[in-house]
Structure 1
Amino acid sequence: MKPVLRPVAALAFLAGAATTVQAADFEWKMQASWPPGGPGTQWENFTMFVDAVDKMSAGRLKIEPLPGGAIVPAFEVLDATSREVIDGAHTAMGYWVGRSKAAIPLSHGPLFGMDYIDFFGWLYHGGGRELTDQWYQEKLKANVVSFPVQPSGPQALGWYKEEIKSWEDFKGLKLRIYGLGNLVFNAAGVSAVQLPGAEILPAAERGVIDAAEWVGGIADLEFGFHTVWKYTMAPGVHEQVTVGDLLINKDRWDSLPADLKAIVEAAAVQTFWVWKTKWHIHNADAYEEMVTKHGVKKIRTPQGILDSFMAAYDELAVQWEEEDEWYKKVRDS
């Protein structure tokens, strides 16, 4: 029997070698602007995209997802991607409002009554995607391309130690809030600051901030905000339709063959909608847990706060159109 078994064994070895996973054609390192998290968080959105690319490409494009701070600080991922320190980033345009107010209508804030279907339609059929890449490359001088991937809105208006009953109660606080909310509330008289997500709870524990807005629901529960604050307030109008984006270094993007480019875009679109529906489920469960297990009280945002925000926003919008040609270009589109 030996003359028979040896060839069979050899063939089996060769067959096994033939099915061994081959090295990826392209390997990227991409960093998020947030820490790791579980189901329903921004981190899950990131890893969902990474897994989709891996499966669709049959391993030809491998992406290593890294948490905020792994290579560069959370707010430096745009420049790091542009300079090829990292190959890409999972982040949010509101972090760049100091460079151009066009980040607001390109990604979040009061969007003229749009819901996510409307906004997605503008991105893919109304020139929004093209405007976004032009803005990054021409206005910000960043060597990147962008894909919408993380629809995490509408968002709540944060966490508080006491019930907020009026605009007067609210405007005396030192509040952590992102992007448009930060700019508008500061203009309206609130002391608003912007911190990376991982720094919010430590800042609250040290008394550096009085209140904080992050995302709401599951993301806030995972960060443990209920251990410091017992009141959470909604709705907000600062991020009704808010979309985090996926940045890729343009040279890395240009080096991909057409089929892998199509796979990256398809994975981003799939992640956008599949994660969005899952996010709402986890948010509902998270709010129930906050109330029933952690004694959190949900309060409705006083109308005076919403009115004060919109009044300040309307004034700023006129100013920003005069100061930033890209802000006007995006709004006019």
Structure 2
Amino acid sequence: MNRRLFLRGAAVAGGAGAGALAAPAVLAQAPLVVKMQTSWPASDIWMDFAREYVTRVEEMSGGRLKIDLLPAGAVVGAFQVLDAVNDGVLDAAHSVPVYWYGKSKAASLFGTGPVWGGSATTMLSWFYQGGGAEFYRELTQDVMGLNIEGYLGFPMFAQPFGWFKQEVNTAADLQGFKYRTVGLAADLLQSMGMSVAQLPGGEIVPAMERGVIDAFEFNNPSSDRRFGAQDVAKNYYLSSYHQASESFEFLFNRDFMEDLDPDLRAIMRYAVEAASTSNTALAMREYSKDLRELQEDEGVTIHRTSKDILAAQIAAWDKLIVELEQDPFMKRVMDSQRAWVEQVTYYELMNAPDYALAYNHYFPGKLSI
């Protein structure tokens, strides 16, 4: 019998006449509070994405779970959330694997590694259906001995090459730039003649203002606009191979997850997939709106990165891959990714119609390609 109906019936019976048994008291269960920190400033759109995860967990759990969502720096720095979750200082975190690249370069393969030709959606599907999740578990738990479990969600649109004070049209133009990026992209662009600093998002504009860097990328038009990228540079280059297939990382302390009731543990896990869909929709709306407003209201010139620079990035990846393959684990991961992309992206590209052709038909003159 449904427990709620049973209690309701008992209450009716209890009031039916003298001597009837009193209805049992229903004690409200206090929610379990989950301490979760992101790697993002409080004002970043990625905090909005994290809030969508929070909403889904709390509503699906019927209030049995409540997530205390905190911005970067509330407990630990943006790059320290992995350690905090591992140590149990945090129950969970919303971040990206590349932020713990300093512990293992293999972290960068789970989103910011070589671009084999597939999109972020292709690589997220590799994580869930192509063996990527087991490689991730092997790295974090077997190789590194961490007390965490993690899942990827929200296939990010390819990251812009970024913000420059003057135009850069060829690979030769990049020589000597002091540039901000993270992960293997740092190795990649250093090999192309740039001097690279790895900084969290909240430190980028101050670094530009002090002259520590003179060009940078972060991720997307909305995040970039919110932290004031347009105030320190006016040339914004979309399209790049340096970070073209990244997703968010949802980190959980293993002890915390194993102590949850099975249904709550499932909610924590599968809400990642639910938020992934909602994040994609929100990103499409906000990224496109902010890109238009950067161009129309903020005086930013929007460029597509030249084919000369893109070709140089691929050539630089080719050399870097040879170095990375000296590590047996990284070679196994990259072999798996290559096989997945060869199969899946062949279908994607052969099946996709020419969307640019249709766009140009209905909105002539807008595209610069």
**Aligned counterparts of 2:144 and 2:314: Cα–Cα separation in 1:** 27
**For residues 114-153 of structure 1, what are the structure 2 equivalents within 5 Å?**
114-153=118-157
Identity in percent:
37
CA distance in 2, matches of 1:159, 1:287: 13
Q: Determine if the alignment matches structure 1 residue 28 to structure 2 residue 31.
A: no
Of the three residues 245, 266, 284, the one matched with 2:270 is: 266
What is the Cα deviation at residue 140 of structure 1? 2.3
Structure-2 separation of matches of 1:111 and 1:167: 18
Separation of aligned partners in 2, 1:299 and 1:35: 27
Please list, as runs of the form range in 1=range in 2, the aligned pairs for 1:1-333 lying within 5 A after superposition.
22-24=29-31, 26-37=32-43, 41-322=45-326, 324-333=327-336
Contact 1:45 1:150 in 2 (8 A): no
Q: Structure 1: how far apart are the matches of 2:104 and 2:203?
A: 24
SS at match of 1:241: coil
Contact 2:97 2:107 (C-alpha < 8 Å) held by counterparts: yes
Residue pair 1:178, 1:213 contacting (<8 A) in 2 also? no
Gaps of 5+ in 1: 1-6, 8-14
1:98 CA displacement: 2.8
1:12-71 CA-partner distances (Å, limit 9, x unpaired):
xxx9x96x96411x2221111111236xx2111111111110000011121111100111
- Which moves more between the two structures, 99-108 or 135-144? 99-108
- Output the CA distance in 1 between the equivalents of 2:206 and 2:286: 25
SS in 1 for 2:139: helix
Q: Which protein has the larger Cα radius of gyration, Structure 1 or Structure 2?
A: 2
Per the normalisation by structure 1, the TM-score is 0.89
CA distance in 2, matches of 1:262, 1:187: 43
Partner secondary structure for residue 196 of structure 2:
strand
**CA pair 116-308 structure 1, distance change in 2 beyond 3 A:** closer
283-292 vs 96-105, which moves further? 96-105
Q: Which moved more, 1:102-111 or 1:87-96?
A: 102-111
Q: Which moved more, 1:281-290 or 1:98-107?
A: 98-107
- Whole-Å Cα distance in 2 between the matches of residues 111 and 216 of structure 1? 18
Deviation at 1:257, TM superposition (A): 1.6
Aligned-pair CA distance for 1:304:
2.4
Q: Matches of 1:131 and 1:320 in 2, distance apart?
A: 16
Task: Determine if contact 1:100/1:327 at 8 Å carries over to the other structure.
Answer: no
Distance 1:208 1:127 in 2: 40
Distance 1:219 1:126 in 2: 31
How far did residue 151 of structure 1 move?
2.5
- In the aligned structure 2, how far is the partner of 1:116 from the partner of 1:173? 27
